Amino acid sequence: MAKAHILVLSFPAQGHVTPLMELSHRLVDQGFEVTFVNTEMQHARVLSALPAGGAAVLGGIHLASIPDGLANDEDRKDLSKLVDSCYQHMPGHLERLVAEMEAAGRPKFKWLVGDMTLGACSEAAKKLGVRLASFWTASAACLAIMLNIPKLVEEGLINEQGWPERDETFQVAPEMPPLHTTRMPWMVEMGAPVGNPALFQALTRFYKLENLGEVVICNSFHEAEIGAFKLFSNLMPIGPLFADQELQKPVGHFLPEDESCIKWLDAQPDRSVVYVAFGSLAIFDTRQFEEVAEGLELTGRPFLWVVRPDFTVGLSKAWLAEFQQRVAGMGIIVSWCSQQQVLAHRAVACFVSHCGWNSTMEGVRNGVPFLCWPYFCDQYLDRTYITDVWKTGVAVSPGADGIVTKEELRSKVEQVLGDDDIKERAQLFMDASRRCIGGSGSSSENFNKFVNLLSE
């Protein structure tokens, strides 16, 4: 007998689509039918980036889309506007989509696996008459801060608009990473700590325990966040997530992968390559871009650098061509890659990262030391885990003007690569993560419980 038909709904951002797509592959492997819903714009990007074979290579995951409620010319990088629009419009659009699918003969849905960042999931599940499971894409520590917003306001750390009232570092609970009040997860600007009141209000509206569904799962593992999981005994870590052991299944990338970088890595010595990637949203100005480039050149080490087409604006093409000519044979630049494959490669020595949670878990699962360069939101919290709690990396230090210089980058790369304690800690956390996802490990057991619940 076929298992239930599961509806998976993701917030329209790469860092949310990827882990939910990985989870969807795992559910298909367990015999479930999965329909994965993106917003129309991201759905189109996922389809265009799929490798040869198109949707057929998704192995049983059906792709569908709904509007996000914004006009075509509106800025979808304005997170508060996007969150608010999704909250208002997604339930109705999802209801219509499901009615159309069922009218076309698709099996009825029993469960909605909803991205918690979409505060409308609870309302959508009620409208559809299905059971709700929530998926949290960031760290459990980040969730702890969200759910403690009323307490933080009461204690006078922040005001009711999310702005810091006190200039200090705090901990939500023992064994949790310390965080400065100017680096809250709703702080969305790089450099100067600028809060976004509209985003903060959206968070306070839907981060309430009673709206989280029958079960809440997350892409983490117990040993990584012991303090956070003590706070939430009903939060089930099932990570670090990956789609398949061979890391070949498509995970909903918005840009086509450059597969040539894997062949390039094959030709490099073991633990020699500096891998540099700042995620799907970070934007660098031309000065910072040039400092990164020249800093990598100064290391004298092989490097693989992911530079999205929209990563920087106004860069001189002549300057970039000259740089690439100078480092030819030493380093390569690609527009996107399969990061899980790269981090699993024997040639990678360290990861210069924005510290998004997916990147953090992928680095940890492969025992790769970090050089942390957070950009916004929860990435500062993730950096603190890496540098202060796990001690598996160090962080760059921007100057008074907010710029990380080429000398600083070179120095910190050498520090990471020369620190045997960091390498040893990275290996320890790799081993711990793999124990959790293997056999009778805690994440594996939690995933089995989740499968059993969905099968009811």
User: Matching CATH topology for 5-246+439-454 and 260-433?
Assistant: yes
pLDDT at site 89: 85
pLDDT at site 163: 86
* Distance (Å, whole) CA 286 – CA 380: 23
Buried b / exposed e over 371-389, threshold 16 CB at 10 Å, is bbbbbbbbbbbbbbbbbeb
The Cα angle at residue 164 between residues 163 and 167, in degrees rounded to 5 = 160
pLDDT at site 59: 80
pLDDT at site 50: 92
Write the DSSP string, 425-449. HHHHHHHHHHHHHSTT-HHHHHHHH
pLDDT at site 348: 98
Query: Residues 277, 308: contact at Cβ < 8 Å?
Result: no
* Distance (Å, whole) CA 346 – CA 270: 5
Q: Tell me the one-letter amino acid at 338.
A: S
Q: Scanning the structure block, which residue is given the tokens 């559809």?
A: 128
pLDDT at site 1: 53
β-strand 169-170 against 179-180: which pairing, if any? antiparallel
Residue boundaries of the structural domains of the chain = 5-246+439-454, 260-433
Write the DSSP string, 61-89. EEEEEE--SS-TTS-TT-HHHHHHHHHHH
Q: Tell me the one-letter amino acid at 290.
A: E
pLDDT at site 193: 47
CATH class belonging to 260-433: alpha beta
The Cα angle at residue 136 between residues 57 and 38, in degrees rounded to 5 = 40
Query: Residues 350, 417: contact at Cβ < 8 Å?
Result: yes
pLDDT at site 190: 47
pLDDT at site 192: 45
CATH number of 5-246+439-454: 3.40.50.2000
Kindly give the parts of the chain with pLDDT less than 50: 190-194
- Strands in 159-238 per DSSP E: 169-170, 179-180, 215-218, 235-237
pLDDT at site 191: 43
